Amino acid sequence: MTRAKSGKSRYTRCGSCGNPALQIGKPFLIGLIAALVVSMAFVMVFALVFVVMKSIVSSAVIPLSVVSLMLGCFAGGWICGSVSRQRGLFYGLAIGLAVFLGAWIIGIAMGEDTFSITVAVKLIVLLLAGGCGGWLGSNRVKPKRR
Q: How many domains does the chain have?
A: 1
Q: What is the pTM of this model?
A: 0.76
**Mean model confidence pLDDT for the chain:** 82
146, part of any domain: no
Is the pLDDT at 52 greater than 60? The verdict is yes
Give residue 8's pLDDT.
53
11, part of any domain: no
Domain that holds residue 49: 22-139
SS3 of 26-91:
HHHHHHHHHHHHHHHHHHHHHHHHHHHHCCCCHHHHHHHHHHHHHHHHHHHHHHHHHHHCCCHHHH
- Mean pLDDT for 23-52 is 88
126, part of any domain: yes
